Amino acid sequence: MPLDPRSQTDPVTASAVRAGFQPRLLGREIHYFDSIDSTNKFLRQAAARGAPEGTVVLAEEQTAGRGRLNRTWESLPGVGIHLSLLLRPPAPAGPLYLYTFLPAVAAARALRAVSGLPVFIQWPNDVMLRGRKLAGVLSEARSSQGQLREIIVGVGMNVNHTPADLPASLRETATSLAMASGRTFSRAAVVRAYLGEMDRGYEALRQKRGGEVLEAWKRLCPSHLGKPVRVQGGSAGTVRGCTRGVDEDGALLVEREDGGLERIAFGEVRRVRAL
Ligand code: BT5
């Protein structure tokens, strides 16, 4: 596919990201592709060949961008950000779920900082703007001999999409910074802000200050406590009730209408009122 002309005026190449950027750990090495199947897939293979911690992979377009559970991530050139980065946490790594909360916090903060828009998180790591999905995170961990060896953190962010850029199936559920504000934003600036946030948060995790990441997640995810929800997951397929926080593994606690407490380790919040 020829590249969208918007990728020329707002490039998200390695050199565009590096302009004015002082990488600490993350982003010292950046690989850029005009088109690739999936940045997570590429980085998993690079990690197996010994790529250093902090390696970042960016692609203008993904032809097989992946979500969780074999779902697809629509990865449009010229308007979106498709980024993966490699972490190699020291042992003991601490609670794994914080490594899935962290990129949502980093993405939400970066998108807020660049746009000033009210970006929130929906459990566990969907990034939402006015009830629609703005960004998604796919963290893939590899362990061996009971030790966490590496985590590939993939994020897809919708920045300059117009409604016409989205497939019909996503027009009611997805949004972009541009759709919500009528303005366009520098994708490289969003990437720099995200890498800076990830760096800070990852340092907190390595220094056993995971509580800071959890507190930031809670502030950005007000629907985790005391809000009516319908969640896909749990013992009965779909749970309706009121959120009662997250437990020590990051599972969502939902008090059902019959008073029972449901613990949802894997699932998806389908409906939250008043967000
Ligand atoms: C996610 O999955 O939200 C994780 C998305 C991660 C994408 C990044 S891009 C860089 C890296 N390389 C990859 O191959 N992947 C990562 P999930 O929670 O399963 O959500 C997927 C669902 O979101 C789909 O089934 C659609 O309903 C919806 N969706 C797909 N593309 C979207 C988009 N661009 N914007 C908003 N919603 C989208």
Helix, strand or coil, per DSSP, at residue 213: helix
Which pair of structure tokens corresponds to residue 164? 């016409």
Q: Measured between alpha carbons, how far is 38 from 134 in angstroms, rounded to an integer?
A: 19
Distance 139 CA to ligand 1 centre (A): 12
pLDDT of residue 216: 98
Could you tell me how far CA 111 lies from the centroid of its own chain? Answer: 11
Residue nearest to atom 9 of ligand 1 (CA): 156
Residue nearest to atom 15 of ligand 1 (CA): 66
pLDDT of residue 237: 83
Q: What percent of the residues of the chain are helix, what percent strand, and what percent coil, each to the nearest 5?
A: 30, 35, 35
pLDDT of residue 209: 95
pLDDT of residue 234: 67
Distance 123 CA to ligand 1 centre (A): 15
Residues of the chain with pLDDT under 70: 1-3, 234-236, 272-275
pLDDT of residue 264: 92
Residue nearest to atom 29 of ligand 1 (CA): 73
pLDDT of residue 274: 43
66 lines ligand 1 (CB under 6 A): yes
Q: Which atom of ligand 1 is nearest to the CA of 41?
A: 14
Q: Measured between alpha carbons, how far is 154 from 141 in angstroms, rounded to an integer?
A: 11
Beta carbons of 148 and 141 less than 8 angstroms apart: yes
pLDDT of residue 273: 56
pLDDT of residue 7: 86
Each residue of 99-109: pLDDT tens digit? 999 999 999 99
pLDDT of residue 143: 86
pLDDT of residue 181: 98
Rounded to two decimals, the pTM is 0.96
Residue nearest to atom 7 of ligand 1 (CA): 156
Residue nearest to atom 37 of ligand 1 (CA): 174
pLDDT of residue 1: 56
Which pair of structure tokens corresponds to residue 98? 């914080």
Which pair of structure tokens corresponds to residue 61? 């377009």
39 lines ligand 1 (CB under 6 A): yes
Q: Measured between alpha carbons, how far is 163 from 158 in angstroms, rounded to an integer?
A: 11
234 lines ligand 1 (CB under 6 A): no
pLDDT of residue 29: 96
Distance 67 CA to ligand 1 centre (A): 4
| From 32, 73, 75, 268, mutation site for ligand 1 pocket: most ligand atoms within 8 A of C-beta | 73
